[in-house]
Amino acid sequence: MIFKVLYQEHAEEAPVREETKTLYIEAENVREVRSKLADRNYNIEYVQELSEAHLAYEQQSEDFKVEKI
């Protein structure tokens, strides 16, 4: 499954919507996503499993890239 992760780059800073970043990652579940990203100092706001239709929509973006972790 592909998950969309919304995050802030620095966990110690207060979240600011304009600085929210997105990454896509392949994993079996949300827990695996969080464990794969645990070594990064991210403030993870939201992890969303993408349905086939939503994934097809996201793939149309030029910024779409699945992280290999």
Domains annotated on the chain, with CATH? 2-67 (3.10.20.730)
Q: What tokens appear for 11 in the block?
A: 């966990």
DSSP secondary structure letter of residue 33 = H
> What are 23-68's pLDDT values in tens digits?
999 999 999 999 999 999 899 999 999 999 999 999 999 889 999 8
pLDDT at position 17 is: 87
Q: Which uninterrupted H or E stretch holds 66?
A: strand 66-67
Tell me, what amino acid is at 66?
A: V
pLDDT of residue 11: 80
For residues 31 and 61, the answer to whether their CB atoms sit within 8 Å is no
pLDDT at 19 exceeding the cut of 90: no
CA-to-CA dists, residue 8 to 16, 18, 33, 34, 58, angstroms:
8, 10, 15, 14, 20
User: Does residue 13 carry a pLDDT above 90?
Assistant: no
| Claim: this prediction has a pTM higher than 0.85 | yes
